[in-house]
Copies of this chain bind each other. A is one copy, B any other.
């Protein structure tokens, strides 16, 4: 009775039962999610979806983050979920490579807006959705991912259904059926990585999970053993699974606390290098740099050894190029990885002065940077654990910087700061309309 037990665990967990540090971390997840949703809200994939809502004459019921248009509940979940998955910049449960926020937060925002729920309600739905999502992901990992499934989508639909079910006030049987309806919609292939279709995965998980809960709340029935039946989710979607992980130490261990955030819009092996650039540029002007020696782990050159990148996407795979970007701009966010920036002579000339050296004794979240100036003096910095790693997680203030970098121009600085501030005290907010008016376009 894994499914019933999960539902009972969720329904029996009140907001008061949730520890403060979990609430705090959940708000960081939401802040990170809002950054990437707003940051991705003008991507072509999002424009196509918004265009479709016009053709379908979709009713304006809920907000799209970063945009002026409104859509109905289900389209809101789809579009906000898709835009938050645009920049590969989501929250990450490192053990399972699951990005849960992008499937769950859109559902919570859509329902909280439509039903005029409080920040506290939204947080409870979000946290329980995250726990369900991550624990179901744990139960089928790693064989599920290895079999070709995009766990963000396949586990995400359950998280979205739980979050929606909590916010809709489903009873026990309805919630169990919502998980059944979610299970039969679980989908999303890793084959799609690198295409727009991958972006859709987070949005579809959000939309399908929300649909599951809406239908169950109206009396739509389903299996009561979505997870554990011999033809249920675990059996069909994973060669090996351990369903005891779904409910183990519920209320004691919080998977949500294991969710990490990415400070930079590229692969994590480059994160210590970028940290080092940001530290050293405070003491040295770019024009004073003669040479940079980088001591990095072997993976860094295997994964990011590309020379002469021609596009923003290719630049993410060039350690020399990223070093130049980070030193010159003091950042490695979405704005750095444009095609124009990849071709900039200034960047290319600086990149030519970067010399990466592999050292087997360096860990993947570590780097040593040695800078030689034109005047012959040397400066160096050692990053033992990169920002965003397990040992050095991003702080609220770093997430705020990320938010401002991604959303400041879009929302205007004042609104962007106001959004961060209100989100920071979400559990005290009676509703989210003020938050949304700051997080959408005029």
Contacts and interface: CB of A to CB of B under 8 A. Distances in A.
A147 interface: yes
A214 interface: yes
A72 B57 contact: yes
Contacts of A192: 180, 184, 222-223
Interface stretch (A45-53, A125-133, A377-385, A399-407): A45-53
A204 B181 CA distance: 11
A235 B146 CA distance: 12
- Give the copy number: 2
Contacts of A190: 231
A136 to B, nearest CB: 15
A426 to B, nearest CB: 26
A69 interface: no
A354 B74 CA distance: 53
Contacts of A221: 195-197
B184 A189 contact: yes
Contacts of A218: 48, 51-52
Interface in A184-214: 184-192, 195-197, 200-201, 204, 214
Interface string A162-194: 000000000000000100110111111111100
Nearest to A224: B195
A191 B183 contact: yes
Contacts of A180: 191-192, 195, 197
Contacts of A148: 231, 235-236
A30 B73 CA distance: 33
Nearest to A235: B148
A311 interface: no
A355 interface: no
Size category of the A interface is 35 or more
Nearest to A188: B184
Given A197-B184, A236-B149, A56 B59 contact: yes
Contacts of A45: 220
Interface string A287-298: 000000000000
A58 B220 CA distance: 20
A52 B215 contact: yes
18 contacts: A48-B218, A48-B219, A49-B215, A51-B218, A52-B214, A56-B73, A57-B59, A148-B235, A150-B184, A177-B197, A183-B191, A184-B192, A189-B232, A191-B225, A192-B222, A197-B221, A197-B223, A200-B215
Interface of A: 44-45, 48-49, 51-52, 56-59, 61, 72-74, 147-150, 177, 180-181, 183-192, 195-197, 200-201, 204, 214-215, 218-223, 225-226, 229, 231-233, 235-236
Pairs of residues from A and B, 3 with the lowest C-beta to C-beta distance, nearest first: A57-B59, A197-B222, A187-B187
Given A49-B215, A180-B192, 17 more contacts: A51-B218, A52-B215, A52-B218, A57-B61, A147-B236, A180-B197, A183-B189, A183-B191, A184-B200, A184-B201, A185-B204, A189-B232, A191-B229, A191-B232, A195-B221, A197-B220, A200-B220
